[in-house]
């Protein structure tokens, strides 16, 4: 086996794009005598559902200087290795074709892996130093925030971390990479892209630098010395996962250029979200989740605290750093509110229940999810907005409270126990504010958005949808006369029904997701003309509708309804006092002496 220092575990990883496999050779210098247990996690930090990562291992064997060793599975994700008490090596391959930030991906153009998807945990030796030796195609580059121990920048080589937890918290991106280096608050940052098509990297770097500098100033101290944004671009992907000194990002190629400012801001908002997590998840973290080894789900009602608050600040950071205009921010806020108001699920699931049910619901959406569930990202962000505006009406802010938590818990490495956020808010601010927030978290129903937005001189308005895919955010020139109570999409033969709203006309008629509407009132339908045909009918008069389900033709009676007023947009109140103008300017990052006077776009 060769000479190996007993002070570290060594993972030799080779990328083989032809087979879409990462091969791993794990050197264990001093295994537990006779029986050594090896484990793959069931779930990944930051992604709260079972992933069963062991299913991607396609072969596994072990040996020492004396030959092959017995290895048997003792659970779906654990192996028992019978050793002879001497240094041994484990060999296994991991199939990698999941183009996401959660597990691993490898093809002829790029590769990526998240540590938990590749690295078996050697039970009892988690505190040892862990070393990674990487190899792969000669013309590829490599990027990771894991400290390098050999090799030139961006080359194959060796990397090391103090223990297993830190070792698994540094994802790796490889391939033909584009990159831009920039500074924020005097600290080196790097944006690395794979799968891209000539984006404007300098412009991305300039805007990211503004966002990062604002967040550094917001918190007042940094939990890292340098930072990597590791981004894969694909045809239509979107997602992110926070890590120590880095984040893994997946975005659509169109988000990186082409003159579409909204798409550009979508990428910046994603990067902003994961960067904010450097403080508000990586440094200050939920105690119950942090203590887990990832072998079983951990129920918590506090996911809204970390994901909801971060979702509130991700675009607010774009606004306050000057990357996003005031009108652009408020239009996006209108869309965020619309995402909640269109969900009947807000009356069926509380924010706390949404957090607790993440393991079985949020990551497993189905066509009826909106009828029964809310997202702790979406409603959590709006609860944070309400809390911030409520605090501002009392001459404080959520900004100040978060900085208080950061400063009093000594920042990095601070665990926030379950329910502690509310208790600390009560002690810091006012027990009445904490009690009001308690109600927002526990109740199944709307948040006091209109009331709180009024404290900064904004009027919340609701209007009918202009189309089934209308996301709100601004005024509309028209509204449909009738509403089907469902979303739909084009089908070569007819119109395929998507989400069906609880209590709407489609549900009352017996339609369900997957049905294919052929005719309304005996006239053929398509995705392009269905709304026009509905609008030609007077609301309240039943009409015949023909549809296919499971290969059979059915007929039912549909009674078209007037559309609901559930698309949100915001208007400036015309007459507000000086205190309201001051709160508004400070909230939007305009400075105390700047006053916003123009209405939101479309007003």
- DSSP codes of every residue in 236-265: S--EEEEETTEEEEEEEGGGGSTT-HHHHH
Specify if 582 maps to a domain. Answer: no
Specify if 585 maps to a domain. Answer: no
Looking at the structure, do residues 168 and 182 belong to the same domain, yes or no? no
The last residue of one of the domains, among 558, 575, 595, is: 558
Looking at the structure, do residues 258 and 307 belong to the same domain, yes or no? no
Query: Which CATH number goes with the domain that contains 406?
Result: 1.10.390.10
Looking at the structure, do residues 24 and 61 belong to the same domain, yes or no? yes
Looking at the structure, do residues 524 and 554 belong to the same domain, yes or no? yes
Looking at the structure, do residues 512 and 420 belong to the same domain, yes or no? no
Specify if 37 maps to a domain. Answer: yes
**Mean local confidence (pLDDT), 141-166:** 97
Specify if 109 maps to a domain. Answer: yes
The last residue of one of the domains, among 246, 276, 306, is: 276
Query: Which CATH number goes with the domain that contains 45?
Result: 2.60.40.3650
For 496-549, how does the pLDDT look when each residue is reduced to its tens digit (9 = 90+)? 999 999 999 999 999 999 999 999 999 999 999 999 999 888 877 889 999 999
How far are the Cα atoms of 267, 274, 536 from residue 533, in angstroms, in the given order? Answer: 38, 45, 5
Average pLDDT, the chain: 93
Query: Which CATH number goes with the domain that contains 502?
Result: 2.30.42.10
Of 285, 272, 133, 253, nearest to 189 by C-alpha is 272
What's the CA dihedral at 162, 168, 174, 178 to 10 degrees? -80
Q: pTM of the full predicted structure? A: 0.94
**Integer-rounded Cα radius of gyration of the chain:** 27
Tell me, what's the pLDDT at 602? 40
- Cα separation of 193 and 199, whole Å? 9
The domain of 310 spans: 287-450
Of 90, 119, 92, 126, nearest to 104 by C-alpha is 119
Looking at the structure, do residues 327 and 429 belong to the same domain, yes or no? yes
Tell me, what's the pLDDT at 6? 54
**Mean local confidence (pLDDT), 71-85:** 94
Looking at the structure, do residues 24 and 141 belong to the same domain, yes or no? yes
Looking at the structure, do residues 139 and 183 belong to the same domain, yes or no? no
Instruction: Please count the structural domains in the chain.
Output: 4
- Cα separation of 580 and 599, whole Å? 16
Compute φ and ψ for 418, nearest 5 degrees. Answer: -55, 130
Looking at the structure, do residues 240 and 338 belong to the same domain, yes or no? no
Looking at the structure, do residues 149 and 26 belong to the same domain, yes or no? yes
Looking at the structure, do residues 438 and 522 belong to the same domain, yes or no? no
Q: In what order do the strands lie in the sheet with 129-135?
A: 67-69, 57-64, 88-95, 21-28, 8-16, 129-135, 158-161, 148-150
Tell me, what's the pLDDT at 477? 87
Specify if 19 maps to a domain. Answer: yes
**Mean local confidence (pLDDT), 399-427:** 88
Contacts of 331 (CB under 8 A, 6+ apart): 473, 474, 569, 570, 600, 601, 602
Of 25, 248, 240, 30, nearest to 119 by C-alpha is 25
Specify if 98 maps to a domain. Answer: yes
Specify if 588 maps to a domain. Answer: no
The last residue of one of the domains, among 276, 302, 332, is: 276
For 186-239, how does the pLDDT look when each residue is reduced to its tens digit (9 = 90+)? 999 999 999 987 678 888 999 999 999 999 999 999 999 999 999 999 998 899
Return the structure tokens found at 11. 């993972």
Specify if 170 maps to a domain. Answer: yes
Compute φ and ψ for 82, nearest 5 degrees. Answer: -85, 115
Of 322, 125, 134, nearest to 214 by C-alpha is 322
Looking at the structure, do residues 348 and 404 belong to the same domain, yes or no? yes
Contacts of 465 (CB under 8 A, 6+ apart): 479, 480, 483, 563, 564, 566, 567
């Amino acid at each position: 086996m060769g000479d190996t220092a007993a002070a570290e575990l060594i993972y030799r990883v080779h990328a083989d794009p032809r087979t879409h496999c990462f091969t791993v050779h794990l050197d264990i210098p001093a295994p537990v005598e006779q029986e050594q247990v090896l484990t793959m996690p069931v779930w990944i930090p930051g992604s709260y559902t079972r992933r069963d990562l062991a299913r991607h291992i396609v072969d596994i064997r072990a040996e020492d200087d004396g030959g092959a060793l017995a290895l048997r599975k003792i659970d779906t994700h654990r192996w028992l290795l019978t050793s002879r008490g001497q240094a041994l090596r484990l060999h296994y391959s991991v199939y990698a074709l999941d183009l996401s930030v959660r597990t691993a991906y490898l093809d002829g153009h790029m590769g990526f892996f998240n540590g938990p998807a590749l690295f078996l945990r050697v039970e009892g030796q988690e505190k040892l130093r862990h070393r990674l030796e990487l190899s792969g195609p000669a013309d590829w580059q490599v990027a990771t925030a894991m400290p390098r121990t050999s090799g030139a920048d961006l080359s194959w080589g060796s990397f090391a971390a103090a223990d297993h937890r830190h070792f698994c918290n540094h994802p790796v991106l490889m391939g033909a990479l584009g990159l831009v280096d920039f500074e924020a608050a005097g600290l080196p940052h790097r944006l690395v892209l794979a799968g891209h098509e000539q984006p404007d990297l300098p412009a991305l770097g300039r805007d990211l630098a503004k966002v990062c500098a604002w967040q550094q100033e917001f918190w007042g101290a940094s939990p890292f010395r340098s930072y990597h944004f590791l981004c894969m671009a694909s045809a239509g992907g979107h997602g992110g996962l926070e890590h120590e000194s880095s984040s893994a990002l997946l975005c659509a190629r169109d988000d990186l250029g082409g003159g579409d400012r909204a798409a550009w801001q979508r990428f910046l908002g994603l990067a902003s979200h994961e960067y904010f997590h450097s403080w508000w998840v990586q440094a200050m973290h939920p105690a119950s989740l942090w203590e887990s080894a990832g072998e079983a789900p951990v129920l918590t009602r506090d996911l809204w605290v970390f994901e909801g608050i971060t979702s509130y600040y991700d675009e607010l950071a774009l606004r306050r750093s000057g990357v996003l205009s005031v009108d652009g921010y408020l239009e996006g806020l209108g869309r965020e509110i619309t995402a909640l108001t269109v969900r009947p699920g807000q009356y069926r699931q509380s924010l706390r229940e949404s957090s607790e049910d993440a393991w079985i619901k949020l990551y497993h959406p189905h066509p009826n999810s909106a009828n029964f569930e809310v997202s702790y990202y979406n409603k959590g962000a709006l609860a944070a907005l309400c809390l911030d505006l409520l605090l501002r009406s009392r001459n404080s802010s959520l900004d100040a409270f978060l900085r208080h938590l950061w400063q009093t818990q000594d920042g990095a490495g601070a665990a926030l126990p379950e329910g502690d956020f509310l208790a600390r808010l009560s002690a810091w601010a006012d027990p009445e504010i904490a009690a009001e927030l308690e109600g927002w978290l526990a109740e199944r129903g709307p948040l006091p958005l209109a009331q709180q937005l009024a404290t900064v001189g904004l009027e919340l308005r609701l209007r009918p949808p202009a189309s089934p895919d209308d996301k709100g955010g601004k005024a509309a020139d028209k509204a449909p006369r009738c509403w089907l109570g469902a979303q739909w999409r084009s089908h070569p033969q007819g119109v395929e029904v998507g989400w069906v709203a609880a209590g709407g006309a489609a549900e009352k008629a017996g339609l369900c997701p997957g049905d294919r509407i052929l005719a309304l009132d005996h006239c053929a339908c398509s995705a392009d003309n269905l709304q026009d045909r509905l609008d030609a009918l007077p609301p309240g008069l039943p009409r015949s509708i023909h549809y296919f389900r499971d290969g059979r033709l059915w007929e039912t009676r549909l009674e078209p309804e007037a559309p609901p007023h559930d698309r949100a947009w915001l208007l400036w109140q015309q007459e507000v006092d000086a205190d309201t103008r001051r709160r508004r300017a400070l909230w939007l990052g305009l400075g105390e002496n700047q006053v916003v006077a123009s209405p939101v776009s479309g007003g």
